[in-house]
Amino acid sequence: MLTAVAVDADGRGGRLQDLHADGTAAGEVRPVDDLAGAIAEREAADQPRWVWAATAEVYPALLRSGVRVARCHDLELTEALLMGHAGWWGSPKALPAARARLRGLPVPADPPPRVAEPPGHAQGALFETAAAPPGPYGFDVLEAVGEVYRDQLRRVGETEHPGRFRMLVAAESAGALVGAEMGHAGLPWRADLHDQLLRELLGAPQPVGPPRRLAELTAEINAAFGARGLHPDSPAEVVRAFARSGVDIPNTRAWVLRRVEHPAVKPLLEYKELYRIWTAHGWSWCDAWVIDGRFRPEYVPGGVVSGRWATRGGGALQVPKAVRRAVVADPGWTFVVADAGQLEPRVLAAISGDRRLAAAAAAGDLYAALAADSFDGDRAKAKIALLGAMYGQTGGAAIPALAVLRKSYPTAFEFVEQAARVGEAGGLVRSWLGRTCPPSSGAWRDAGLDPPEETGTAEPQGGATGRARGRFTRNFVVQATAAEWALVLLATLRTALAGTRAEMVLFVHDEVVVHCPAEQAGEVVAAVHRCAEQAGRLLFGDTTVRFPLDVSVVGAYADAK
């Protein structure tokens, strides 16, 4: 059963209407004064799939009222997927835009992204937060919800692989529920330990200016360059300082600096790491974001073009390892941390249909299996070859390794090569379930698909436009599919944990963290492994590719493998 939801402008009441599977009305419109209470009552009765404009507008307030739902269809997230599939990535996706497109009316722009406020700010009644619903639309919202939903069903059915795309829509909507629930639960965070580790790393906070250790490193860096007044946090100044020393570097990324022989490199690398901790997760951050022992960021599912998540404030997806020492489970509770190992190479094996690579991916260590099969036991060479193929490395140590890969695993190699050729020609590529990359005129350059340092890619990512886009599309087909696998894992794990006290509290790309009573840890570990297996089957059917997880049961997040 489906139930459409329209929220009143004040966020307290609304209207509900049951829908048939095709989106047509299956009952009368029911006005309710207490929307949260009405949804809770209906959820307890038969758990319908709720169809609403946007999970971010409705669900956080329900959670604050103690109401959780099992399933939903998020019209806004689905519209974004469908517009991308049609080659209109980035088009307005909110309910007013979807309705206007359907009716042939001028399409209004989406409202600008909200600036998330730290949770320490005062919060009012049910929907009076950053996730407040929009004001009056000027049209019947419930009618528009049903109308847009029916149109989305039609458009999903017209995609190349409707079954896969339906799974993508369901997973994306489930991910929105998970994101809201994680933000509501919060990540346990010890402010006292955070202060202690900051003092160990940086020294005591200063009334004015940076802490002591940053000041010391600044002096070391200036001395190494024979300079005065150089600001290490200014990339342009650092690049010029290296140039004056006879060293040309394209940027100040850590992997670039590590290749440079210069006395300024060591203090500069330390400075960069500590400066990022101080500015992004220092004392001010803790005061603003950690309230009552919980860090509660606002997650943005699908916030990156590959389908990976982003956050709106708080930097939850870039918590440095040093700071993770402050993430400690509640007394009597523990963390179950599950990390998918070698996920992208395994995904390539599954989506390319390369049987030989899939056989290697059936092993616990894919790189070791590759090495034994085709690289004379050299695991490092096998890893460089596979990562180089996925990220477009064309020089250095990767050249002979890629030659071996091309010969031994031609189907997988050609799969990413074809994606690169399509990208270079300005075409569109899709993930396994149907997420589509931005067009050549889109913001693909900011997609967050930079290669890992292991590939040894030396060419600046700005490169020639065609080659750079080819690198992007080459990796998009793999990374976007990996994001889908992780999303399906989240959705299935959410269902598996229903009815327990365990709660997902953090999700970072390929890693999920569950906070649970210590006596339930074994049950959660078993569920995580089971759901990883299920995610592989749901996406790829009967495949020999394994998707193993490294699972740790720890009291502190920093102790996870």
Burial 295-313 (b: 16+ CB within 10 A, else e): bbbbbbbbbbbbbbbebbb
Residue 447 pLDDT = 52
CA dist 475 and 480 (Å) reads 8
Residues 6+ apart with CB under 8 A from 274: 201, 202, 213, 214, 217
Q: Are 130 and 137 in contact (CB under 8 A)?
A: no
Query: Strand pairing partners for 311?
Result: 299
CA dist 307 and 304 (Å) reads 5
Per-residue tens of pLDDT for the chain, all 561 residues: 788 888 876 668 899 999 999 999 998 999 999 999 999 999 999 999 999 999 999 999 999 999 999 999 999 999 999 999 999 999 999 999 999 999 999 999 998 876 667 776 544 333 334 444 455 678 999 999 999 999 999 999 999 999 999 999 999 999 999 999 999 999 999 999 999 999 999 999 888 889 999 999 999 999 999 988 999 999 999 999 999 999 999 999 998 999 999 999 999 999 999 999 999 999 999 999 999 999 999 999 999 999 999 998 888 888 888 999 999 999 999 999 999 989 999 999 999 999 999 999 998 889 999 999 989 899 998 888 888 888 887 666 678 888 888 899 999 999 999 999 999 999 999 999 999 999 987 555 545 454 554 444 434 333 457 888 999 999 999 999 999 999 999 999 999 999 899 999 999 988 999 999 999 999 999 999 999 999 999 999 989 999 999 999 999 999 998
Q: Are 521 and 334 in contact (CB under 8 A)?
A: yes
Residue 200 pLDDT = 96
CA dist 242 and 257 (Å) reads 10
Residue 463 pLDDT = 45
Residue 120 pLDDT = 60
Q: Which of 311, 390, 329 has the alpha carbon at shortest distance from 354?
A: 390
CA dist 404 and 53 (Å) reads 50
| Chain position carrying tokens 């909200």 | 114
CA dist 360 and 426 (Å) reads 33
Residue 192 pLDDT = 96
Residues 6+ apart with CB under 8 A from 297: 116, 183, 289, 311, 312, 313, 314, 315, 316
Residue 387 pLDDT = 87
Residue 118 pLDDT = 77
Q: Are 519 and 329 in contact (CB under 8 A)?
A: no
Helices 191-202 + 265-281 axis angle, to 10: 160
Please give the helix or strand (H or E) that residue 367 lies within, else none.
helix 366-374
Q: Are 505 and 514 in contact (CB under 8 A)?
A: yes
Residue 90 — left, alpha, or beta (φ > 0 → left; ψ -120 to 50 → alpha)?
A: left
Residues 6+ apart with CB under 8 A from 426: 439, 440, 469
CA dist 550 and 537 (Å) reads 19
Kindly give the pairing relationship between strand 294-295 and strand 511-517.
Answer: unpaired
The one-letter code for the residue type at 46 is: D
Q: What is the pTM of this model?
A: 0.90
